[in-house]
Amino acid sequence: MENTAITLSPSAAARVATIAQKQDKPAILRLSVEGGGCSGFQYKFGLAETPDSEDCVVETDGVRLVVDPVSLDLVNGCVVDYVESLGGAAFRVENPMAAAGCGCGSSFSI
């Protein structure tokens, strides 16, 4: 299922491509949302071998971001970015639907 409900930034795409090449895997980043974390939900990232048939798939610079339908309801309109700062480097989800977040940046509530 093609959709533009979520965006993969060019910096995140470049980082996924680097990681995938080092691990000899396809450049496909899976974003999912699980219950838990300090604010109710938490983001989970991992490399995927292939998208599932029901996944939302978006592509940036040849790198695909896949999100399952249940998680997509919670991250609709998000931008997945890769940020490097003094505190370290990480994938970050800019979620306009999140009513609250936490200091770690990987947990949110709606």
Residue 75 sits in a domain whose CATH number is 2.60.300.12
Q: Which domain holds residue 91?
A: 7-105
Q: What is the C-alpha separation between 51 and 71, in angstroms, rounded?
A: 14
The reply to whether 110 falls in a domain is no
Residue 45: pLDDT over 70: yes
| pLDDT surpasses 60 at 82 | yes
Decide if 2 is inside a domain.
Answer: no
- Residue 35: pLDDT band (50, 70, 90) is confident
CA atoms of 102 and 110, how far apart (whole Å)? 12
State the burial class of residue 23 (Cβ atoms within 10 Å of its Cβ: 0-12, 13-18, 19+): exposed
Residue at 26 is within a domain: yes
Q: Is residue 38 part of a domain?
A: yes
Q: Is 1 contained in some domain?
A: no
Q: Is residue 78 part of a domain?
A: yes
Neighbouring CB atoms inside 10 A of 53's CB total 6
Q: Quote the number of domains for the chain.
A: 1
**24, pLDDT greater than 90:** yes
d(Cα 10, Cα 31) in Å, to the nearest integer?
A: 16
Edge-to-edge strand order for the sheet containing 88-94?
7-8, 79-85, 88-94
